[in-house]
């Protein structure tokens, strides 16, 4: 018999392949874990519709569980309620910042279609708020690119979603 | 409308009921896939690195949306009874039938013929220059925004979940493209000339979205007011004149396309047709 808690613990070791400082729990994409006898069912939700990391994440979950001897694993994707950056843990946001990526602002501040609205984003290096947007889309769909006007470094911002 | 021989006057025969809803899902998926494929043509050719990345990220979102919809359509089809399967047979890829396995998302994306695609003509037009690409994206995203807002209320829980997921991405696409329309319209002499030319090319393809097809479960004609209002607001900022409504081209929703779609499909389907049922 396997317990839910044991599986949750193992999932802490499965990382986001594109932002490897974050575990999939930090990211908030694991919605449910249920165990019934030897059968383990894990429900995850995609971050972005076209996110290529999702297939890799499913495979990494399987590999991690197989490593510990759990073979009877079903992974299902759930679309609703849709993932939001508000589900990212406080710990996850701190890890992102330490990694040099500005963590997402709370959703209600910015998820609007107002044109040319500029968010106040803190530079993860020098902590200045004197920054400007370079591009709404950066190295991955989930990030925007900013520039710090004080320390002059460009940085990624994990945008609100 | 339970009669499977139901044919709307003068239109292609689309089946009613559960199987009719199937054509609607394909229509949504085709819109997303075809415009996504067009935007992907910018990969490595964007006017600046950041914008190359932006347009291909938008493309990725759109192809992701198409995948969710094709996946749903394939799952539904596999659960259809034989009457329902017959009713949608004209939309199913012929080559797949030789595979002797259940229908999958890739079969729908890569193996149908041109006349089986139900996307808006606007989505398939060539990418043109940057002005044409961003203006098309703006027209499309503004429509998709209101369409998916309605779709979120659908009693089909899978469709409403897909809409709920996608609309966050669409909101970003709309904002990005609207900002570019303003930048080009209210920019230099050249940018203004280019976006004005693009408007001349694209405008007559915008009306199709609001002409209901028999399979559409959303009252698209009711979305036109909000769409026009959005376009007018952005055009005012961009110092562009909103064209008179005028005549508009249609046909894509019924599978009658411009000459451009065939070339796009030839390019996109090449691999799956050359190496049938291959996986990698």
Ordered domains of chain A (ranges, CATH): 4-83 (3.30.300.130), 88-158 (no CATH)
Picking from A46, A50, A111, the nearest residue to B63 by CB comes out as: A50
Q: CA distances (Å), A96 to each of A8, A16, A26, A104, A138, in order?
A: 21, 12, 10, 9, 16
Q: Which residues of A touch B (CB under 8 A)?
A: 46, 48-52, 79-84, 111-116, 134-141, 145, 161
Cα–Cα distance between B200 and B197 in angstroms, integer? 5
pLDDT at B9: 38
pLDDT-derived band at B2 (thresholds 50, 70, 90) equals very low
Dmax (CA) for chain A in angstroms is 57
pLDDT digits (tens, 9 = 90+) for A130-156: 999 988 888 888 889 999 999 999 999
Q: With contacts defined as CB-CB under 8 Å, which chain B residues touch A138?
A: 50, 53
Cα–Cα distance between A150 and A22 in angstroms, integer? 28
Chain centre distance of CA A59: 17
Cα–Cα distance between A159 and B236 in angstroms, integer? 28
ipTM of the complex: 0.81
Selection from B184, B133, B158 nearest residue B72 by Cα:
B158
Q: Is the peptide bond before A24 cis (omega within 30 degrees of 0)?
A: no
Question: Which of B33, B162, B168, B180 should we substitute to test contact with A (largest number of A Cβ atoms within 10 Å)?
Answer: B168
Q: Domain B17-274 maps to which CATH number in 3.20.20.10, 3.30.420.480, 1.20.1260.10, 2.60.40.10? A: 1.20.1260.10
Cα–Cα distance between B200 and B196 in angstroms, integer? 6
- What values do phi and psi take at B242, rounded to 5? -75, 120
Q: Enumerate the domain spans of chain B.
A: 17-274
Which element (helix H / strand E) includes A44?
Answer: strand A39-44
pLDDT digits (tens, 9 = 90+) for B96-153: 999 999 999 999 999 999 999 999 999 999 999 999 999 999 999 999 999 999 999 9
């Amino acid at each position: 018999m396997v317990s839910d808690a044991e599986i949750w613990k193992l999932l802490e070791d499965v990382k986001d392949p594109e932002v490897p400082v974050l575990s999939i729990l930090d990211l908030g994409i694991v919605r449910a874990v249920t165990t019934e006898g030897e059968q383990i069912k894990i429900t995850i939700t995609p971050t972005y519709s076209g996110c290529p990391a999702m297939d890799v994440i499913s495979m990494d979950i399987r590999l991690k569980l197989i490593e510990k001897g759990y073979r009877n694993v079903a992974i299902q994707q759930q679309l609703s309620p849709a993932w939001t950056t508000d589900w990212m843990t406080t710990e996850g946001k701190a890890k992102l910042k330490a990694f040099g990526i500005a963590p997402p602002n709370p959703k209600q501040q910015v998820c609007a279609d107002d044109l040319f609205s500029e968010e106040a984003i803190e530079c993860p290096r020098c902590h200045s708020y004197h920054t400007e947007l370079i591009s709404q889309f950066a190295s991955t769909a989930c990030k925007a690119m900013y520039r710090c006007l004080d320390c002059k470094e460009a940085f990624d911002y994990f945008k609100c979603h | 409308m339970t009669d499977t021989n139901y044919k709307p006057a003068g239109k292609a025969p689309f089946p009613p009921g559960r199987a009719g809803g199937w054509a609607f899902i394909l229509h949504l998926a085709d819109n997303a896939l075809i415009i996504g494929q067009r935007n992907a043509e910018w990969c490595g050719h964007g006017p600046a690195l950041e914008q190359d990345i932006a347009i291909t990220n938008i493309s990725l979102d759109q192809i992701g949306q198409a995948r969710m919809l094709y996946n749903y359509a394939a799952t539904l089809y596999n659960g259809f009874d034989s009457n329902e399967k017959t009713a949608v047979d004209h939309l199913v890829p012929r080559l797949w039938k030789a595979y002797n396995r259940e229908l999958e998302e890739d079969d729908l994306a890569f193996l149908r013929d041109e006349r089986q695609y139900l996307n808006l003509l606007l989505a398939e037009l060539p990418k043109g220059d940057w002005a044409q690409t961003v203006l098309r994206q703006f027209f499309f995203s503004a429509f998709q925004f209101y369409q998916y807002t309605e779709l979120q209320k659908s009693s089909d829980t899978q469709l409403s979940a897909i809409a709920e997921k996608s609309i966050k991405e669409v909101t970003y696409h709309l904002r990005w493209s609207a900002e570019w329309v303003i930048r080009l319209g209210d920019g230099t002499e050249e940018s203004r000339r280019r976006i004005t030319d693009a408007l001349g090319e694209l405008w007559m393809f915008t009306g199709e979205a609001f002409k209901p097809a028999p399979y559409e479960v959303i009252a698209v004609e009711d979305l036109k007011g909000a769409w026009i209002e959005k376009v007018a607001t952005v055009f005012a900022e961009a110092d562009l004149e909103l064209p008179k409504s005028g005549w508009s081209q249609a046909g894509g929703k019924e599978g009658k396309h411009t000459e451009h779609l065939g070339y796009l499909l030839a390019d996109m389907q090449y691999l799956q047709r050359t190496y049938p049922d291959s996986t990698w």
